[in-house]
A = this chain, B = another copy of it.
Amino acid sequence: MNQDYIKPDNWSIIEEGFDISRVKSSESLFSIGNGAMGQRANFEEYYSGPTFQGSYIAGVYYPDKTKVGWWKNGYPEYFAKVINAPNWIGINITINGEQLDLNACKKVEKFRRELNMKEGWLSRTFTATLQNNIEISVQTKRFLNLELDEVGAIEYSIQLLNSDADICFEPYLDSGITNEDTNWDDKFWNTTNVTHNDSQAFIEAHTMKTLFHTCTYMQSQCFINDTEVNLSPEIFKNETKIAFQYSASVKKGDTFAIQKFGGYLVDRNHDKDQLTEAAKNVLSKATSLGFDGLLKMQKSAWASIWEMADITIDGDMKAQQGIRFNIFHLNQTYLGKDSTLNIGPKGFTGEKYGGSTYWDTEAYCIPFYMATKDQNVARSLLEYRFKHLEKAIENAQKLGFKNGAALYPMVTMNGEECHNEWEITFEEIHRNGAIAFAIYNYYRFTNDYSYIVEKGQEVLIGIARFWQQRATFSKAKNKYVILGVTGPNEYENNVNNNFYTNYIAKWCIDYALENIVKIEKDYTGDYKRIVSKTGISEDELDRWKEVAENMYFPFDEERNIYLQQDGFLDKELITVSDLPKDQRPINQKWSWDRILRSPYIKQADTLQGLYFFEDHFTTQELERHFDFYEPFTVHESSLSPCVHSIQAAKLDRMEQAYEFYLRTSRLDLDDYNKEVHEGLHITSMAGTWMSVVEGFGGMRIKNGTLSFNPKIPDLWNGYSFKINFRNQILKVVIKQNETNFEHNGTQDLQILVKGKQVNITPNNPVKV
């Protein structure tokens, strides 16, 4: 944890001073992306210090052969890896023949890095004294254009401070790159063509096995003191790299600058044989707009996003910076334009975890996208799973399930499982529940039942079938039990009757049944199609009912709480506050057996159930469970603090809610879990949004009505957010003593505020 490293600022992430030990962490924090591609904040110029080079193209992956100690039946053959793509940002620099390398300079001063979230660009300034005693002042700016999402732009300028010198910029493309995360050191890329003309260069390369064809391109322009100069580059080329050298003799005090345009084209969007031609078209558009024109577009595109998605917090700059950091990175990662994409846990900021899609998407991200974008974005995320239904059925078959039972993978790129620890792959089956819950959540929020009728119900049937088959009857308990699972708290493995899993399993069956009845009644044609396609029968539905009605839930009469799993009370119930600090994080200090037999909870588990199904429990029940479980929770999952923040707010424990809020919103900025160098926790960022809107704002949908129960941390003067509720955009401004609602839509909006009906007419602010 490092609370004071990033400078507080309302709109920017700012680092001041050059600290070699922080380079990898900052590369993560200052990452940029535009939904189609993204990259860590690696330096453009050569850097010999510790660095983690990463540039990623959305949807481009490699199926890395599975690596295990001991093979188990049912393991997938491969693990889809997010892979480092060819480098297009590189600009090597020499000054009087000496290479600029911040790790080798005599001095680096006034180093400042800024990620401007309002406008969507990354800048760096510093002065450096090279070993040859030349002093320079450097300014760089870089962004990935949101609208022209195949285009990135860099401006890199060097002013000579103490003497004349020969400066050479060497912008290059390099497809001879590797991954940090690779199982067998496979070669991921095959470069097929390196071409150029006088000013442009192109590398065509495709991924091995998956055969994603790409073109990486660049074009550069040079300037002296802001005046464009036409320099003829020397061109160097080998099988995987091409570099242009632009050299100039520069006077002391003058500035030599380069603008580089580059990026990727992929065959998802272009004919694979026309990628270089397409890149030329893209470059023509980009250069005609120029760096400034592209930057203007960028500012305007980000302004539109912020217009809808911004949360303002008045009176607490760190909290403000935190929430914007989260919203910014979510929008850099996924914009909902392409329904084949999803939201990887590290986005474009690292390689860890591979794959792109976890239950994080359904449990955490969909609420954010649903409320801050057009509702088609959320629907598109649901359709992603509908498209994978067949593969989920095949996946369940591998594990012995039948008759169309579907088990969605724990991690996936294309619908196939690509995780391989038995306790996760085979046992963390609650993921199926979140996928069903998201369908319910989408309908509850949007009132768009057509999705369920057209697609969702088939998913719900596959999932219900899985749960019915997965539950077994315990004669001893005279109930259905679910044995051998890993719940959301991954610090327990192979437990019996995880409350959360059993509860969501029962709910999934109930919800699938409820919809079958409704569809049969109201959508006869669709009902016939669904019956014919899935082959459901009354007999089968009776088996579902039998399981759902007789599901077992572990319960402790003494404490009047549900137990996380069978046997939880046999543990040594020492709370986290009594755990020595030097033992934490326990996942870095303890062997796995010790973690497993401890009572410590990685993330909300029973409480996750009480979060999803809040209406099923009284506030007193929530309080009892919160009071029992939270003290054992180490929050070593990024997905943990947000749920706790929401529940603490609901319980009027605003101080605790605020603490959890800071922890979730500044998890990466302050590096709570000492791992930000590996990349950011993108999916949990949506949880931060929830902790403001659902936690402090108390937003819920109650019987189809938007409802708020506004609360505000003491420290804050006020905060605001917007919600796209059924295509009307409601702005909510919450202050210490009042809440203001306003929308510019076309129809009146009936909402509930602290349980009371309030009518908001268009363009007519209401104070409550």
Contacts and interface: CB of A to CB of B under 8 A. Distances in A.
Contacts of A566: 566-567, 570
Nearest to A569: B476
Contacts of A573: 475
Given A494-B493, A571-B483, A573-B475, A590 B400 contact: yes
Nearest to A399: B591
A8 interface: no
A484 interface: yes
Contacts of A477: 570
A305 interface: no
Contacts of A570: 474, 476-477, 481, 483, 496-497, 566
A426 B590 CA distance: 11
B74 A597 contact: no
A591 to B, nearest CB: 3
Interface string A465-478: 00000001111110
A398 B483 contact: no
Interface string A64-76: 0011111011100
A112 to B, nearest CB: 37
A427 interface: yes
B73 A592 contact: yes
A181 B495 CA distance: 33
A472 B597 contact: yes
B399 A593 contact: yes
A590 B592 CA distance: 25
Contacts of A472: 571-572, 597
A427 B596 CA distance: 10
B567 A400 contact: no
A738 interface: no
B473 A572 contact: yes
Interface string A403-430: 0000000000000000011100011000
A73 B483 contact: no
A594 interface: yes
Nearest to A596: B484
Given A571-B472, A591-B400, A69 B66 contact: yes
Nearest to A427: B593
Contacts of A571: 472, 474, 483
Interface string A59-102: 00000001111101110000000000000000000000000000
Contacts of A569: 474-476
A271 to B, nearest CB: 38
A703 interface: no
Interface in A417-459: 420-422, 426-427
A481 B427 CA distance: 25
Given A421-B70, A496-B570, A592 B426 contact: yes
Interface in A188-222: none
A422 B592 contact: yes
Contacts of A587: 73
A618 interface: no
Interface string A260-304: 000000000000000000000000000000000000000000000
Contacts of A495: 494
Contacts of A420: 69
Given A484-B597, A567-B496, A398 B476 contact: no
A73 B590 contact: yes
Nearest to A556: B476
A21 interface: no
Interface in A577-633: 587-594, 596-597
Interface residues of A, number: 47
A67 B570 CA distance: 34
A22 to B, nearest CB: 25
Contact of A591 (B398, B483, B494): B398
Nearest to A485: B593
A494 B490 CA distance: 13
How many copies altogether? 2
Contacts of A66: 69
A632 to B, nearest CB: 14
A561 to B, nearest CB: 13
Contact of A597 (B67, B476, B483, B593): B483
Contacts of A484: 593, 596-597
Given A473-B572, A567-B496, A422 B593 contact: yes
Contacts of A591: 72-74, 398-400, 422, 426
A74 B596 CA distance: 14
Nearest to A495: B494
Given A69-B68, A476-B569, A571-B472, A494 B596 contact: yes
Nearest to A497: B570
A69 B425 CA distance: 12
B399 A594 contact: yes
The residue in A483, A567, A588, A590 that gathers the most chain B C-beta atoms within 10 A of its C-beta is A567
Interface in A32-73: 66-70, 72-73
A46 to B, nearest CB: 32
A405 to B, nearest CB: 13
A420 B497 CA distance: 28
A427 to B, nearest CB: 5
Nearest to A567: B496
A588 B591 CA distance: 30
A752 to B, nearest CB: 42
A577 B494 CA distance: 26
A43 to B, nearest CB: 30
A596 B484 CA distance: 7
Nearest to A400: B594
Nearest to A184: B184
Contacts of A68: 67-69
The residue in A70, A74, A484 that gathers the most chain B C-beta atoms within 10 A of its C-beta is A484
The residue in A73, A495, A573 that gathers the most chain B C-beta atoms within 10 A of its C-beta is A73
Contacts of A596: 483-484, 494
Contacts of A572: 472-473
A73 B589 contact: yes
A742 B69 CA distance: 52
Contacts of A483: 567, 570-571, 596-597
B72 A69 contact: no
Contacts of A476: 569-570
A572 B72 CA distance: 22
Contacts of A475: 569, 573
19 contacts: A69-B421, A73-B587, A399-B591, A399-B593, A400-B591, A400-B594, A472-B571, A472-B597, A474-B570, A474-B571, A475-B573, A483-B570, A484-B593, A484-B597, A493-B493, A493-B494, A494-B494, A494-B495, A566-B570
Given A566-B566, A566-B567, 19 more contacts: A68-B69, A69-B69, A69-B421, A73-B589, A73-B590, A73-B591, A74-B591, A399-B594, A400-B591, A400-B594, A426-B593, A427-B593, A472-B571, A472-B572, A483-B567, A484-B596, A493-B494, A494-B495, A566-B570
7 A-B pairs with the lowest CB-CB distances in the bound complex, closest first: A74-B591, A426-B593, A484-B597, A476-B569, A483-B597, A474-B570, A422-B592
